[in-house]
Amino acid sequence: MHRFPRSTPSLVAVPVALLLLAGCSSSSEPDAADAHGGDPGSVWSYTGDEGPSHWGALTSEYGTCSSGEEQSPIDLPAPKRGAALDLQASGPVEGITADNGHTVQFTAADGARTRIGGDDLHLVQLHFHAGSEHTVEGEAADAEFHFVHADEDGALTVVGVLADRGAHNPAYDSFVAGATAGAGRESTVDLDAMLPEARSHYRYDGSLTTPPCSEGVRWIVLEDRIELGADQLADLEAAHVENVRPVQPLGDRTVDYSLA
């Protein structure tokens, strides 16, 4: 049974510096920092002795990966099809797409603004996981995209979008092209066009899904999924596949539905 608590979780600021590649230049050498943050000098993986079950022991900075009580991703309940997400994007955003070793990440240039639920945020970056990290009633999607936003204090809101194999999606062409470029590539993303038309959603308190697994992240996962063409998914999976952290215990947390 999922209860419905406050509409806006309390946030703990997570340094935005953890999220960025080395600037937004056209450099062909992407920083080794991972998709959600982390120490470029550390080594972690999605498999073997450096995989998710071992992250907390790799270094003291990653201890939250094993000791945290509000970790992400989680298994989500059946959709409720409630009210739409109140999101207003500033329009197409330019930036650099590059492979950072764990995913392909679009890093937005300065000035990418988004208003979510009345909060003024800026889009920091976008990256993907193949398949999805969040599951719904135990079932994973073919991919998941994370649109990472920060407020002026550095507190994070991540909008998660699940994707299934289906029709070609031109809104993702620029990002996918960056995934296949083999080096940093100038890209443009249109957040509004990349989200599903229906925007009922889940909200919960969570964490980064990669080391250091910092908590205090507001998660908004849209219930409806987008479709990507088989060719688009193949291009993404050629770069990274199964770059997925397993679902984490919900514990004492609650999932808030966007009920009208």
CA distance 36 to 149: 11
pLDDT of amino acid 90: 85
Is pLDDT of 147 > 60? yes
Nearest 5°: phi and psi at 231? -65, -40
Q: What is the pLDDT of residues 10-52, one digit of tens each?
A: 333 344 444 443 222 222 222 323 334 444 456 899 999 999 9
Is pLDDT of 5 > 70? no
Which residues neighbour 232 within 8 Å (Cβ) at sequence distance 6 or greater? Answer: 168, 169, 172, 173, 176
Q: What is the pLDDT of residues 211-252, one digit of tens each?
A: 999 999 999 999 999 999 999 999 999 999 999 999 999 999
Q: What is the pLDDT of residues 68-106, one digit of tens each?
A: 999 999 999 999 999 999 999 988 999 999 999 999 999
Nearest 5°: phi and psi at 136? -125, 115
The pTM assigned to this predicted structure is: 0.86
pLDDT of amino acid 172: 96
Tokens of 178: 């960056």
Q: What is the DSSP letter of 50?
A: G
Looking from the CA of 189 toward its CB, the CA atoms found within 13 Å total 29
pLDDT of amino acid 183: 74
pLDDT of amino acid 39: 47
Which residues are identified as catalytic?
Answer: 102
Burial of 135-167, coded b for 16+ CB within 10 Å and e otherwise, reads: bbeeebbbbbbbbbbbbeebbbbbbbbbbeeee
User: Length of the chain, please?
Assistant: 260
Give percent of the chain above pLDDT 90.
Answer: 75
pLDDT of amino acid 260: 61
* Nearest alpha-carbon partner for 133 in 179, 72, 222: 72
- CATH number of the structural domain 16-254: 3.10.200.10
Residue 60 binned pLDDT confidence (cut-offs 50, 70, 90): very high
CA distance 156 to 122: 10
Q: Are 195 and 222 in contact (CB under 8 A)?
A: yes
Q: Are 223 and 161 in contact (CB under 8 A)?
A: no
Q: Are 73 and 209 in contact (CB under 8 A)?
A: yes
pLDDT of amino acid 112: 87
Q: Are 163 and 142 in contact (CB under 8 A)?
A: yes
Tokens of 87: 């999101």
- Give the least confident one: 151-160, 176-185, 223-232: 176-185
